[in-house]
Chain A
Amino acid sequence: GQQLNQSPQSMFIQEGEDVSMNCTSSSIFNTWLWYKQDPGEGPVLLIALYKAGELTSNGRLTAQFGITRKDSFLNISASIPSDVGIYFCAGRMGRRALTFGSGTRLQVQP
């Protein structure tokens, strides 16, 4: 089946630093989504991208839908301790199910 390669697997950064993570796919998607998951909870939608080349911001978060439709990245600027969690990318084509990346575990040192 489809595979999403998400990197890095984990990051340990200092508060105030910027963070970047990305996902690449072997197939094209027409939707890219970024979710954050806290321990024991379900993923919460952060940003949704619907068009190739689209750049979308949500506060300190910025994500882009790659022009080839096979990749996406998420940037977090000026990280704060509550940014700690696992970030997942997910892609979707038509009405097919979401395909998820393996997650990026982010730890922020105050």
Chain B
Amino acid sequence: KAGVTQTPRYLIKTRGQQVTLSCSPISGHRSVSWYQQTPGQGLQFLFEYFSETQRNKGNFPGRFSGRQFSNSRSEMNVSTLELGDSALYLCASSLGLAEPTDTQYFGPGTRLTVL
């Protein structure tokens, strides 16, 4: 079974631009969660999508948004990029069940650098 895939793997943008990152979950997984990882703040939860609906949201400004398609693939968008948005953006997929045994599996991440 293929794992979680993320594209692109690396991205360089300048301040003020916007960016879209893509995540394809493991086949059969309906939940996609996005995380931002920085050296200073560690791994922080952005949002979760399940069945094309945002189900959970972290504490990030509205410049960070996402969506999920009917095939469970997800995209996240960051508008008006700031230097502090430079980070590794990780997506994780799971079945999306409430059961404790429903585990999240991570993709390799997209390394975003904002200049």
A residues lining the B interface (CB < 8 Å): 1, 30-31, 33, 35, 40-45, 48, 50, 88, 92, 94-103
Contact = CB atoms under 8 A, between A and B. Distances in A.
Contact of B90 (A43, A95, A97, A102): A43
Contacts of B88: 40
A88 B105 CA distance: 14
B61 interface: no
Contacts of B107: 42
A42 B90 contact: yes
Contact of B111 (A1, A40, A103): A40
B16 interface: no
Contact of B98 (A40, A48, A50, A94): A94
28 contacts: A1-B59, A30-B100, A31-B100, A31-B101, A33-B104, A40-B109, A41-B108, A42-B90, A42-B92, A42-B106, A42-B107, A43-B43, A44-B106, A45-B103, A45-B105, A48-B103, A50-B100, A88-B43, A95-B55, A95-B56, A95-B96, A96-B56, A97-B33, A97-B56, A97-B58, A98-B45, A98-B104, A100-B43
A100 B42 contact: yes
Interface in B66-107: 88, 90, 92, 96-98, 100-101, 103-107
Closest 8 CB pairs of A and B: A42-B106, A97-B45, A100-B43, A31-B100, A50-B100, A30-B100, A95-B98, A43-B106
A35 B100 contact: no
Interface residues of B, number: 27
Contacts of B42: 100-103
A50 B101 contact: yes
Contacts of A98: 33, 43, 45, 92, 104
Nearest to B41: A102
Given A35-B106, A42-B109, A92 B45 contact: no
A103 B56 CA distance: 24
A101 to B, nearest CB: 8
A30 B108 CA distance: 26
A42 B58 contact: no
B79 to A, nearest CB: 22
